[in-house]
Amino acid sequence: MSNAVAPLAIRRHDGGPCPGSVTVVLDQPGKPVVVLDHSLIQRIEATLRLVPRDATGLVLASSSPRAFVAGADLRSIRELDDDQLRRYLAYGSQVFGMLAAFPFPTVAAINGAALGGGLEIAMHCDALIALSPQPRDGQPGRPYPVGLPECGLSICPGWGGASLLPALIDPAEGIRRTASGKPLTFDEARAAGLFSAVAETPEDLEDVCQEWLASARPNTPRRDGAPLRWTGRPATRAVAIDALDRVRAELPDTEAARAVARAVDAGLAGGWSAALASEQESLVRLRHTPQAVQAIDAFFAKSSGGKG
């Protein structure tokens, strides 16, 4: 990380439901939505290093009104050589892991679509608090997507998503969704229990996050370098093993789906680092397949944003 990297905004809360907590705001000026490219991950690292260790909690928020984070930088996934991509993915894992290492509770404030790497960084927090879709022009709010769409592009998650989502919702459904690349809508995610709480208005979102932090603070666990909730934890390991055994045969007959199953299996057998290693090696390999090349090219043909 360069010393010249500008940190993101940090707001410290001296009052409110959780005095002493901080909010880190993901921001990418000049872009319509936040995308996790290398420069933003550098800024996240610089910012998290500035968070005081005596904070009472952390809210990870987004400045984008349209989405929490639209995804990882698909151009990097397509264009970096293999060694560069491995370093990019490993660096992202290292920075996201900082959220899971703080000695106080952390929460992601999901104010809109959270896809791919955007959901993965959120799931490194201890909880997800969502904003209910907001009405516009007198019409009800449109449910936004939350999920891991990578397998729909014939690639796979690269920052632990395959082992994170099944620990936050029904494990079998989490594996199916990841292996098919089919995100949940807000309503489906809420019904599935993905969110620890839901705020009804944008003005309430930060207070609801702080209220959750205040309630969680007395029970913050001893950190071990892995996210609080993933399939290898004692509370979810047995049910995740059973879910993987039950759904493996019904997953799509694709290399991407098999990579998801292997990553879940690797994590259950070898721990969090093994889960990450399996995902990242699969992603490096899969992005070269004809199916992935065609799917990613088609994505860029429809969109100039480069989000995945």
Nearest to 243 by CA among 188, 190, 167, 180: 167
Quote the tokens at residue 159.
């920052």
CB atoms within 10 A of CB 296: 20
Nearest to 245 by CA among 305, 190, 166: 166
Among 120, 206, 279, 281, the one annotated catalytic: 120
Question: Is there a catalytic annotation at residue 150?
Answer: yes
Question: Is there a catalytic annotation at residue 206?
Answer: no
Quote the tokens at residue 190.
């809420």
Among 45, 150, 211, 279, the one annotated catalytic: 150
- Measure the CA–CA gap between 203 and 151, rounded to whole angstroms: 35
Contact between 175 and 260 (Cβ < 8 Å) = yes
Which residues, listed in sequence order, are joined to residue 23 by a DSSP beta bridge? Answer: 11, 59
Contact between 166 and 231 (Cβ < 8 Å) = yes
**Residues known to be catalytic:** 120, 150
